[in-house]
């Protein structure tokens, strides 16, 4: 077997497979895949995991090959302490695409996963990306631009340090606040918190700090203008953690062939709070490129 072969382990249900892919520097990237047809690869956000896409795995695998992955040191991936940059994460995606022999893939990135997907486009777009989906993401978190709704906009380095101090002092309490803030009403249902918080806590704190530092300082506005495949930008609309319509309009205006969708009953996780509508939009994009 080659360096990037997929090592399947026990089947879960139906045709779902799970296993690990070796990335460019030896990191083991955890992957789950189910279904067949057009491949849809879903990339999660900061300190989350592929499990957060569970309602897409269940709702789309009857028509498509749905693939989720845990970014390095997140979720069930190996806890490697180097390479926590958008560049290395994009190479991890490439390892997964290669190992699973995915062609004409629809690539979706949520939150921090958005810049990761854009970095992948910049480096590997000739490898058969057929469409992009950007979910509740900002292309430049530190930007002072009026369009930017990130809490640390305007190069707020002091705010970054304060946030990291809170994370390092009380990672569990930080995680609870973070997860609550992603929901439309600012409160996670207890059943959701019951599994989301343990998933969040799988990411070591030094990894969380390193990855977020790189994310904050990365500017992908120029990459947006170079996206040449059909694209979909999906945003929530809430007063808590949510980039929302303003950032969504900015992103959509920069991508030549992009449609904007606002799911107004969602916060930062429109794919989880309104999965039927989200999955429908993904299906419409897949049909468009078929």
| pLDDT tier at 22, thresholds 50, 70, 90 | very high
Q: Which of 87, 120, 88, 84 is nearest to 105 (CA)?
A: 120
Q: Are 233 and 260 in contact (CB under 8 A)?
A: yes
Any idea which architecture 6-289 has in CATH?
A: 3-Layer(aba) Sandwich (3.40)
pLDDT at 6: 55
Task: Report the chain's mean pLDDT, rounded to a whole number.
Answer: 94
263-279: average pLDDT = 98
Tokens representing 145 are 């631009």
| pLDDT tier at 78, thresholds 50, 70, 90 | very high
- Of all residues in the chain, what percent are helix, strand and coil, respectively (each to 5)? 40, 20, 40
- Is the pLDDT reported for residue 82 higher than 80? yes
The position carrying tokens 């930007």 is 143
Distance CA 275, CA 290 (A): 22
| pLDDT tens digits for range 178-192 | 999 999 999 999 999
Distance CA 154, CA 72 (A): 29
133-159: average pLDDT = 97
Strand pairing category for 65-69 and 28-34: antiparallel
Tokens representing 214 are 């790189």
pLDDT at 14: 56
Give the number of other CB atoms < 10 A from CB of residue 168.
13
Q: Are 148 and 157 in contact (CB under 8 A)?
A: no
pLDDT at 4: 44
- Is the pLDDT reported for residue 216 higher than 60? yes
| pLDDT tier at 258, thresholds 50, 70, 90 | very high
Q: Which of 130, 150, 127 is nearest to 140 (CA)?
A: 150
Q: Are 64 and 286 in contact (CB under 8 A)?
A: yes
| pLDDT tier at 7, thresholds 50, 70, 90 | low
DSSP 198-223: HHHTTS-HHHHHHHHHHHHH---HHH
| pLDDT tier at 151, thresholds 50, 70, 90 | very high
pLDDT at 9: 47
pLDDT at 132: 98
pLDDT at 53: 98
Domain ranges of the chain: 6-289
pLDDT at 16: 82
pLDDT at 127: 77
């Amino acid at each position: 077997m080659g360096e990037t072969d997929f090592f399947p382990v026990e089947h879960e249900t139906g045709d779902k497979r799970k296993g690990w892919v070796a990335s460019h520097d030896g990191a083991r990237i955890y992957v789950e895949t189910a279904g067949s047809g057009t491949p849809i690869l879903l990339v999660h956000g900061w300190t989350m995991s592929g499990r957060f896409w569970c309602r897409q795995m269940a709702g789309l695998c009857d028509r498509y090959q749905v693939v989720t992955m845990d970014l390095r040191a997140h979720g069930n991936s190996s806890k490697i302490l180097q390479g926590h940059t958008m560049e290395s994460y994009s190479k991890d995606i490439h390892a997964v695409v290669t190992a699973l022999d995915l062609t004409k893939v629809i690539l979706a990135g949520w939150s921090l996963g958005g810049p990761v997907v854009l970095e992948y486009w910049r480096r590997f777009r000739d490898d058969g990306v057929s469409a992009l989906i950007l979910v509740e993401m900002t292309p430049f978190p530190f930007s002072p631009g009026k369009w930017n709704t990130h809490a640390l906009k305007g190069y707020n380095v002091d705010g970054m340090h304060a946030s990291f101090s809170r994370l390092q002092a009380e990672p569990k309490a930080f995680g609870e606040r973070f997860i609550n803030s992603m929901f439309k009403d600012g409160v996670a249902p207890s059943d959701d918190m019951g599994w989301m918080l343990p998933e969040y806590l799988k990411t070591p704190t030094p990894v969380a700090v390193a990855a977020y530092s790189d994310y904050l300082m990365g500017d992908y506005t120029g990459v947006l203008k170079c996206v040449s495949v059909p694209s979909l930008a999906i945003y929530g609309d809430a007063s808590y953690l949510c980039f929302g319509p303003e950032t969504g309009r900015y992103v959509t205006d920069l991508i030549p062939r992009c449609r904007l969708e606002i799911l107004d009953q969602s916060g930062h996780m429109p794919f989880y709070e309104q999965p039927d509508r989200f999955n429908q939009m993904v299906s419409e994009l897949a049909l468009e490129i078929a």
